[in-house]
Chains A and B, each alone.
Chain A
Amino acid sequence: MEKDIEKIQEERERWSKTCLEKYTFRKAEMDWGLEIKPLYTPVDTENIDYLKDIGFPGEYPFTRGPHPSMHLGRLWTMRQYSGYGTAEETNKRYRYLLEQGQTGLSVAFDLPTQIGYDSDHPLSQGEIGKVGVAVDTLADMEMIFDGLPLDKLSTSMTINASAAILFAMYLAVAEKQGVSFDKLNGTIQNDILKEYTVRGTYIFPVGPSLRLITDIFRYCSTHVTKWNTINVAGYHMREAGATAVQEIAFTFADAIEYINAGIKAGLKVDEFAPRISWIFNTHNNFFEEIAKYRAARSLWARIMKDRFEAKDPKSWMFRFHTQTAGSALTAQQPLNNVVRVAFQTLAAVLGGAQSLASCSFDEALALPTEESVRLSLRTQQIIAHELGATDTVDPMGGSFYIESLTRKMEDKITEYLNKIDELGGAAAAIEKGYIQQEIQESAYRYQKEVESGKRVVVGVNSYQVEEPPPEGLLKVDPKVGEIQLRKLKELKAARDKGKVESSLSDLKKAAKGNANLMFPILESVKAYATLGEICGVLREVFGEYEGTSTI
C-alpha cells in the first residue's frame, strides 16, 4: 500500500510537470483560504484511516450519516419555511403545502412575535404579519394548527427569545386536541446566542436567556421526550456573510455554550444532548457543502465523546435541517434561482440532510407565492424520486476531493473552536465582538469580490439583461394589522381577567426564584395571557439585552 502511494505520488508529479503544466489553468481557492488542487488522487487521502475517521453510517463517528440506511430507509422531511399574515392565512398555506406532499411544517413568525411584543405595541406598527405569522395569544396558535393533528405532524418553529412561550402555546394546542406531549415531534429554534450576533431578535440578557433554554431542556427531558429542544443555527450566520467553515465553527461554539449551561444547571449531558438538532445553510459551492456536512458529523461526534464524555450514541449524532441559501438568490433574472435552488438542494441531500427547506425563486423580492413554493417543493420531490441520488448511502464518500476536503474543513473548524475556547467560549467571544467581526469581514470581502468581478454572480455582475419589473409577487394583505388588532381587543375583553392576573403573578414569582419557568408559562398561555404580557413580566424581572454594533 505504502509503495503504491509512493508510486502514485511520483506519477502525480510526473503528470503535473510533463502534462498539466503545458496548459494555462485557473487556480481555485475556498473563501476560507484553502487552495484547491487541480486534481485529487489517493495521495490526498493517504492519511485518512477509513475505519477510524470515516467508518459506517449509523456508527461513530457518523461521517457517512447518522442512520445506517439514510435516505433509503426514510427520506428527509420536506419542510418549507412558511407563515405570513394572519393565523387563518397561514393555516391555509400549511394545508396547501401538506396537500402538495410536504411532510413537515416550519413556522415563520412575524418580528413582534419573535421579540415578544403584542400587535398593539407601538413598536409593532408596520411589522404585523410581514415576515411571518402574527401570534398574540393561544387563540392565534389554535387557528394556525386548526384541523392539523399534532400527533401526525412534525413542526419546526423558528422562535428564539420568546421560544418558551410559543412552545407552551403549541403544547396547549396539543392538549386541546387530546394529543399527549410524548407524541409531539418537532423543534423550536431556541438558539439565543446567534440572535446577539447576526439575527437580532433578542429580548433578555445572556444569563436569563440561558436559564430559559435550560428550563426547556429539563422540562422536555421528562414531559416532551421526543421534542428537539434546540435547533442550533448556523443558517443566519451564513446569510450574514460567514464562510462555510465559520458557519459550522461558530454554531458548534454556541452549542458547546448551551451544553455547558445545561450541565451547570444540573443536567447530565446524556439527558439532553440527544435532543439537540441543527439548522444550516446550503450555499452554492456544491462539493464544499457536501464536505461541510460530513465534517460536521464526525467533528460533533468527537466533541461529544471526548470533550463532554457523553455515553449515549444518540448524544454523538449530528442530525440537521438545512435550507438553501436565501442570500444566494438574485433579484435579477429571478428564474435563474430555480437552478441555484436545485443544485443547493441536491448538495443538501448528498450531504445527508434529515430535513430540508428549499427557497423559492422569487424570495429575493418577496415572500413566495403558492406557485413558487410548490416549484421548490417539487424540486425536492424530483431529487428524491427521479435522480437516483438516494439509491445508496453517502454516494460522494470515497471521492479523493470530498474526503480530503472533509478533513481540511474539520481541521479548520477545530482551529476556530480552539480560538473561541481561548476567548472564554461563545458568549465571551460574542461580548468581545469577535464572532461579529469575523462574519463582517467575510461579508465585506464577498461584496468586494462581486464588485471587482472576481466572483461571478450570473445576472448580477455578468450576463445582465434589461428586464421589466417582476410581476405576480405575493403581497401581504395590508389589512392584517387591523385584523390582528381587532382580534386581540376582542380576546382581551372576553377572557377571564382574574385567571390572567394570577397566572402572571405566579410567573413573576417563579422568574424571581429558581423554579422551572415552563410550568407558569404554560399556565399563563392557557389563561390566554398575551405573548407581550408574559414577556413583559419577564422583561421586568430579567431586564433587556442591550445590543451593540460595530462596523
Chain B
Amino acid sequence: MNQDRRIRALVAKPGLDGHDRGAKVIARALRDSGMEVIYSGIRQTPEQIVEAALQEDVDVLLLSILSGAHGFLFPRIMELLKEKGLGDILILGGGIIPKEDVPGLKSLGISQVFGPGMTSKTLIEYIEQNVPK
C-alpha cells in the first residue's frame, strides 16, 4: 500500500439485523482517526457487501452481526471474497459472537472478532498494525 494512501474501511451489516449503533459508532471513530470509511447500511446480503468491498477497493472489512446469523453469513462472505480475489484484505468481526464460535470464524480467515467493551483505540491500533501493506 502506498504510504500516503489513507486506510480504506468498509463497515458492513450483513443479514436482517437492524442493530447498528455499534457499527455506526465504530465507523465514525475510524473516520475521526483519519481513515476513509464507508458504511453499508443495514440488511445487506453477502453479495452486496463483497461487491462494495471490491468497488470501494477497501483495505479492511468490518462485519457486525448481533442476531446470531454469523455462523451462516460470515462463511458465505469469506467464500465470495475469495472468489473475487479479495482474500488478502483484513477482515474483522464484531457484535454478539459467542466465544466458542470464534476459533471457527478465525479458521475461515477472519483475522479477529471483537465484542462488547472494546475501545475504538484498540480497534484502530489493531487495524493499523494488521492491514495489508
A contact set with B: CB distance below 8 Å:
111-112, 114-115, 117, 123-127, 130-131, 195, 198-201, 239-241, 327, 330-332, 364-366, 440, 443-444, 447, 451, 460, 469-470, 473, 475-476, 478, 547-551
Contacts and interface: CB of A to CB of B under 8 A. Distances in A.
Given A330-B116, A330-B117, A127 B20 contact: no
Contacts of A241: 21, 25
Nearest to A117: B16
B98 A443 contact: no
Interface string B80-98: 0000000000000000101
Contacts of B19: 200, 239
A327 B96 CA distance: 12
A23 to B, nearest CB: 34
B69 interface: yes
Nearest to B39: A551
- Among B19, B42, B115, chain A packs the most CB atoms within 10 A around the CB of B19
B25 A127 contact: no
A473 B18 contact: no
Contact of A123 (B16, B27, B67, B68): B16
Given A547-B42, A547-B43, A460 B28 contact: no
B25 A447 contact: yes
Nearest to A364: B116
B5 interface: no
Main secondary structure of the interface of A (DSSP, over half): loop
B45 A123 contact: yes
B120 interface: yes
Which 8 residue pairs spanning A and B have beta carbons closest together? A200-B18, A126-B72, A549-B41, A126-B69, A111-B16, A130-B68, A331-B116, A551-B27
Given A451-B119, A473-B98, A126 B15 contact: yes
B32 to A, nearest CB: 9
Contacts of B29: 444, 447
A365 B96 contact: yes
A331 B115 contact: yes
Given A199-B18, A331-B116, A443-B21, A130 B67 contact: yes
A547 to B, nearest CB: 6
B99 A469 contact: yes
Contacts of B71: 126, 478
Contacts of A127: 15-17, 67-69, 72
B50 to A, nearest CB: 16
B105 to A, nearest CB: 13
- Among A114, A124, A130, A131, chain B packs the most CB atoms within 10 A around the CB of A130
Contacts of B41: 547-549
10 contacts: A111-B15, A126-B15, A131-B17, A200-B16, A239-B19, A332-B117, A366-B98, A444-B28, A548-B41, A549-B41
B16 A447 contact: no
Given A201-B16, A239-B21, A332-B116, 11 more contacts: A127-B69, A200-B16, A200-B43, A240-B20, A331-B117, A365-B98, A444-B25, A548-B41, A549-B41, A551-B27, A551-B37
Interface in B87-126: 96, 98-100, 115-117, 119-121
A332 B39 CA distance: 28
A548 B40 CA distance: 9
Contacts of A365: 96, 98
A327 to B, nearest CB: 8
Interface of B: 11, 15-21, 24-25, 27-29, 31, 37, 39-43, 45, 67-73, 96, 98-100, 115-117, 119-121
A131 B70 CA distance: 13
Nearest to B31: A551
Contacts of A330: 116-117
- Among A125, A127, A330, A460, chain B packs the most CB atoms within 10 A around the CB of A127
Contacts of B24: 440, 443-444, 549, 551
A451 B121 contact: yes
Contacts of A114: 16
B21 A131 contact: no
A549 B39 contact: yes
B120 to A, nearest CB: 6
Nearest to A440: B24
A113 B114 CA distance: 28
Nearest to A451: B119
A469 B42 CA distance: 30
A111 B67 contact: yes
B16 A115 contact: yes
Contacts of B100: 469
Given A330-B116, A451-B119, A549-B39, A130 B69 contact: yes
Contact of A443 (B16, B25, B39, B67): B25
B113 to A, nearest CB: 13
Given A115-B16, A549-B39, A240 B21 contact: yes
B117 A549 contact: no
A201 B68 CA distance: 16
A131 B18 contact: no
A131 B25 contact: no
Contacts of A195: 18
B102 to A, nearest CB: 10
Contacts of A115: 16, 43
Nearest to A446: B25
B28 A551 contact: yes
Contacts of B98: 365-366, 473, 475
Contacts of A331: 115-117
Nearest to A459: B117
A115 B17 CA distance: 10
